[in-house]
Amino acid sequence: MGLLQRVLRKTKKVSVKIGVFGEVGAGKTTLVNYITKNYIGEEVGSVTGIPHETRRIQQIENVHVRCDGKELNLTIVDTPGLATYIDYRGFMEYGLSEDEAINRAKEATKGVVEALKEFDKVDVAIIVVDSTKIPFNQINMMLIGNLEIRKIPYIIAANKIDRDDAKPGAIKEIFNNKPVIPISALTGENVEKLIEEISKKIG
């Protein structure tokens, strides 16, 4: 065991970089906002109904969390929503002009590429999925595959359980042997449990 690890074990202070990944509109920024508002008193990202609102990686450092007898110093990385395609016309349905929509699509494309390159840089990942939809798709499978190959521990946060049409049970069934925690990033339900699970993952 190295000196750093011995010191960390003695003080039970652990620094962890958490990547928050997922599809567009899954609620990643809402979750990050809930955590940071609770622990450092401020929200970090804007949330609107327009897809690809988060188009740059946002890194929030020094989020101190006491959990399970450990003091965690979290760096939370909120990543742009993952997508395999970006159709600028979709933004025009939200009232953006054609030029604005094209520009947003360009920024969103860069954001997706940034997010895809972020897998290697995190210690633990939260995969946020929308539990009102069927998230068993190529994006989430690719995401899980990438994390498993890199041996990066992850938790699937089945978000939006505050909604009547949420089906967290179906999400657990779909990802049967994967760690799934139903949460509501909006109301905060089970978010503490999610943090506890992260704490367990990092030993």
Interface ranges with other proteins (CB under 8 A): 83-88, 102, 105-106, 109, 112-113, 116-117, 119, 136, 138, 141-146, 148-149
How many Å separate Cα 75 from the centre of its chain? 12
DSSP string, 128-143: EEETTS---SHHHHHH
Other beta carbons less than 10 A from residue 26's beta carbon: 27
CB-wise, 58 or 146, nearer to other proteins?
Answer: 146
CB-wise, 39 or 91, nearer to other proteins?
Answer: 91
How many Å separate Cα 126 from the centre of its chain? 5
The amino acid that residue 17 corresponds to is K
The CA dihedral of 54, 58, 63, 67, to the nearest 10 degrees, is 60
CB-wise, 7 or 141, nearer to other proteins?
Answer: 141
Q: In what order do the strands lie in the sheet with 58-67?
A: 58-67, 70-78, 13-22, 124-130, 154-159, 180-182
- Least spacing, CB of residue 33 vs other proteins, in Å: 27
- Least spacing, CB of residue 86 vs other proteins, in Å: 6
- Least spacing, CB of residue 94 vs other proteins, in Å: 17
- Least spacing, CB of residue 158 vs other proteins, in Å: 17
Q: Which of 203, 150, 202, 142 is nearest to 18 (CA)?
A: 202
CB-wise, 67 or 116, nearer to other proteins?
Answer: 116
- Least spacing, CB of residue 156 vs other proteins, in Å: 13
CB-wise, 16 or 129, nearer to other proteins?
Answer: 129
Backbone angles phi, psi at 16, to 5 degrees: -135, 135
